[in-house]
Amino acid sequence: MTASATADLELMRASVLLDSDPATAAKSATEILARFPGHPEANLLLAAACRRLGDGRAAVPVLESLAAANPDSALLALELGRGLASSARPADARGAFKRAIALDAGLADAWRELAQAEFLLGEETAGDAAYAEFSRLTPEPIEFNDVLVALADNRLAAAEAMLRQHLKRTPEDVVALRMLADTVLRRDDPGEAERSLRAALELAPGYAAARLDLARLLYAKQMYGEVLPLVERLLRVDPENIAYLSLKAQALRLVGRSAEAVALMEGAVRERPTDAQAWLLYGHLMREVGEPAEAIAAYRHALAVQPQQGEAYWSLANLKTFRFEEADLAAMQARLGEAGLRAGDRTHLEFALGKALEDRGEYPDSFEHYARGNALQRAKTPYDASVVEADVRRSVALYTAPFFAARQGFGSERTDPIFVVGLPRSGSTLIEQILASHSAVEGTRELDEIPGIVRDLVLRSSTRATPAYPEPVAGLDAAGARALAERYLARTQPFRSTDKARFVDKMLANFGHVGLIHLLFPRATIIDARRHPLGCGMSCYRQLFARGLGFTYDLEEFGRHYRAYAELMAHLDQVLPGRVHRVYYEALVAHPEREVRRLLEHCGLPFEEACLRFYETKRIVQTISTEQVRRPIYSESVGQWRHFEPWLGPMQAALGDLIERYPILGG
């Protein structure tokens, strides 16, 4: 073997060590240069190793010489830029990276390094644009294939374990951090998801996909003020992106800037008349601001552009007051028969057809479509009824009369919050709208601060990996309870836009935290929105929710969930008599004035006629009940479940005697 060939072989071996053992790589390169002075590849290897060892200044002269001798080498320009960057010369590094890109625009690493240099120079938008190009050029890492398969199969624990193991080895992998955020969010841990996304953006500020995920997460957490700057930054790089525009419009609407939101989406559909997604999002906005006719027209536009779009059909059905025409029915049935229909479109179409056939009185066929849609949605929605049942058993064991007696005087004396708890489709939005029509009460939204407090208590209060809730609540002392109450008030303040004395927190799942709420706010009002179990269950089964609520997609699981909820509330009635005011939906519908008076009296509020004219109150209603609360109380939905009674056996069996024990109301 010639001396040159020997040097090349040694160089190859040393290059393999560059990332894992740069010191040895540098030593090998030095030895090669001792025998072959000026060897260009050995010089490049030595310079790269020096940079990795933190000695960029030693690398720069060599790299400058090599780059000058090879002006058409994009890789040498890239490596020179890296050396300049590690020598704290970001402006010079930027020039080198731009030179590398000019020579080879497909060099992904050069775009990433350019983004970092721009950020160091304070050029945020230029950095975001460079990182966007890096993302476009970078394929999905093959090492995550198993994770993607696990996520597709809804094996969340397996996916999370693989990602965490990967992050132990490479903690700065921003793609893995984003995937971890998605995984933990699917198992309903928004706090951990937010931490992962913020960590990814700390490492890669230009990572647009992570920024969008964070904006969407904060939107779901109703932190709209924080959403806007995130989306506006995204739009500076990609001003025509419909996902960014629609999210900005939604956030604008919810911070009281509805006119701007409408104008933004009107511009979007005007500029994109053939974009079905733009029309769909415009329809959602029109629905939420109380313009159903415009919403219908927008959904029709979406279908004209993309006839197979299941979400547009479901959005029409979800208007509740809308009725499909014969042609719509035929079109939906035809779409379901098409080969290659996407799973999401199929699910939406099944629910929409269920609603269309129900409106026609064709209940057997309607239920069949609802059942198919629910089965499809349940398959991708994590839920374990035994977890909720175990939580309830532990709560019953912990929250006894002596437990609360020993903690008298805990928490805050403030009465600001009115907590509305219960299950979906139980009349809670109607209760909130009635209360928000009172001059002393502000309607907010489903605030997630109590669940956030619970998550923090669980994480902080035990050395075990998964402490059993509500065990950590027992460790609170008077000062701790008072501090948490103050935290709740402080963190919910941004969602209050008026100076009214009271506000409504309609996070229904807080029924599992009533014991904690009582400790934090012993004088605050707690309202349980209750509906007949079969009426509530069938109403949920007919509904395709935006996310979560896995217990609503299976009849037996809903029955078990309702039973657990009812048992916990019955126990709290025993140990805290009169503490929770129960509003039965059927009674409210039958005797609205009587029930509204009782509700206001329990809240310590004087009766106001405006509460009976709640449908005149102008406010944003974000739930699926938006149309219902904009018209007077109606009774059509009270016994609607009876049309489907022949198929509710699994739910009835799980509910047991709760059906017979439910009060006979409405008389």
Cβ neighbours of residue 104 under 8 Å, at least 6 residues apart?
74, 110
Phi, then psi, of 529 in degrees rounded to 5: -85, 115
Q: Would you call 554 helix, strand, or coil by DSSP?
A: coil
Whether residue 224 contacts residue 254, with contact meaning beta carbons closer than 8 Å, is answered with yes
pLDDT digits (tens, 9 = 90+) for 500-509: 999 999 999 9
Give CA–CA dist 630/626, Å, rounded.
7
CA 277, chain centre distance (Å) = 19
Count, in order, helices (H) and strands (E) of the chain.
Answer: 34, 5
Quick check: 357 pLDDT over 90?
Answer: yes
Instruction: Determine the average pLDDT of the residues in 422-429.
Output: 94
- CB contact at 8 A, 314 and 349: yes
Q: What is the mean pLDDT of residues 313-325?
A: 91
What local confidence, expressed as pLDDT, does residue 606 receive?
97
pLDDT of res. 666: 47
Quote the CA–CA distance of 48 and 63 in Å, as a whole number: 9
Residues 6+ apart with CB under 8 A from 311: 280, 344, 345, 348
Q: Phi first, then psi: give them for residue 192, nearest 5 degrees.
A: -65, -35
Q: By mean pLDDT, which of 87-96, 555-564, 577-586, 615-624 is the weakest?
A: 615-624
490: Cβ–Cβ under 8 A, 6 or more apart, which residues?
none
User: 242-247: which pairs have CB atoms within 8 A and are 24 or more residues apart?
Assistant: 242/268, 242/272, 242/275, 242/277, 242/278, 242/281, 243/212, 243/277, 244/212, 245/278, 246/277, 246/278, 246/281, 246/285, 247/212, 247/215, 247/216, 247/219
| Lowest mean per-residue pLDDT among 62-76, 168-182, 290-304, 380-394 | 62-76
Contact 643, 521 (CB under 8 A): no
Can you tell me the mean pLDDT for 211-226?
A: 87
Please give the share of the chain, as a percent, with pLDDT higher than 70.
87
pLDDT of residue 629: 47
**Most confident of the following: 218-232, 415-429, 626-640:** 415-429
Highest mean pLDDT of the ranges 79-83, 84-88, 164-168 = 164-168
pTM to 2 decimal places: 0.78
Hey, what domains does the chain have and what are their CATH numbers? 3-137 (1.25.40.10), 142-322 (1.25.40.10), 409-446+499-661 (3.40.50.300)
Q: Specify which of 32-41, 370-379, 625-634 reaches the highest per-range mean pLDDT.
A: 370-379
What are the C-alpha distances in Å from 230 to residues 182, 194, 198, 224, 459?
Answer: 18, 13, 12, 10, 28
* DSSP category for residue 138: P
Average pLDDT estimate for 339-362: 93
Judge whether residue 450 has pLDDT over 90.
yes
Q: Give, in order, the Cα–Cα distances in Å from 430 to each of 60, 245, 251, 624, 637.
A: 69, 31, 23, 11, 13
User: What type of residue is 564?
Assistant: A
Name the β-bridge partners of 528: 421, 582
What are the φ/ψ torsions at residue 469 (nearest 5 degrees)?
-80, 140
- Look at residues 357, 358, 508 and name the one whose alpha carbon lies nearest to residue 427: 508
Residues in contact with 540: Cβ distance below 8 Å, sequence separation at least 6, in sequence order: 423, 424, 425, 549, 552, 558
Q: How many CB atoms lie within 10 A of CB 584?
A: 20
Say which residue, 609 or 665, is predicted with more confidence.
609
Q: What is the pLDDT of residue 60?
A: 79
Give yes or no for residue 623 having a pLDDT over 60: no
Residue 580, pLDDT score = 97
Please state the rounded mean pLDDT for residues 528-543.
96
Mean pLDDT value across residues 356-364: 95
Instruction: Report the b/e string of 260-281 with b at 16+ CB within 10 A.
Output: ebbebbeebbeebeebbbbbbb
Smallest Cα–Cα separation from 187: which of 166, 156, 159? 156
The answer on pLDDT for 1 being more than 50 is: no
Residue 463: pLDDT above 90? Answer: no
What sign has the CA pseudo-torsion 234, 240, 244, 249?
A: positive
pLDDT of residue 632: 56
Mean pLDDT within 149-163 = 86
Q: What is the mean pLDDT of the chain?
A: 87
3-state helix, strand, coil in the chain (%, to 5): 65, 5, 30
Q: Which residues pair with 422 in a beta bridge?
A: 529
* CA-wise closest residue to 433 among 608, 601, 617: 617
Nearest by Cα to 320 from 623, 580, 596, 582: 623
Q: H-helix or E-strand containing 421?
A: strand 417-422
List Cβ neighbours of 554 (8 Å cut-off, separation of 6 or more). 374, 378, 650
Query: Half-sphere exposure (CA, 13 Å, Cβ side) for 133?
Result: 20
Vertex 465, ends 397 and 490: CA angle to 5°?
75
Q: What is the pLDDT of residues 89-104, one digit of tens each?
A: 889 889 989 998 998 9
pLDDT score of 17 more than 90: no
The alpha-helical segments, DSSP class H, found in 603-648 are none
* Lowest-confidence segment of 111-115, 223-227, 602-606, 647-651 by average pLDDT: 223-227
280-283: list long-range contacts, CB under 8 Å, 24+ apart.
280/309, 280/311, 280/312, 280/315, 281/242, 281/246, 281/249, 283/312, 283/315
Given CA atoms 516, 521, 523, 528 in this order, what sign does their dihedral have? negative
Greatest alpha-carbon pair distance for the chain in Å reads 103
Left (φ > 0), alpha (ψ -120 to 50) or beta: where does 214 sit? alpha
- If one compares 49 and 592, the residue with the highest pLDDT of the two is 592
What pLDDT, on a 0 to 100 scale, did the predictor assign at position 455?
83
Cα 374 from chain centroid?
A: 21
Q: What is the mean pLDDT of residues 349-363?
A: 95
Q: What is the mean pLDDT of residues 53-76?
A: 75
Contact 410, 476 (CB under 8 A): yes
Q: Which two tokens stand for residue 176?
A: 């893995």
Gap between the Cα atoms of 437 and 621, Å rounded: 13
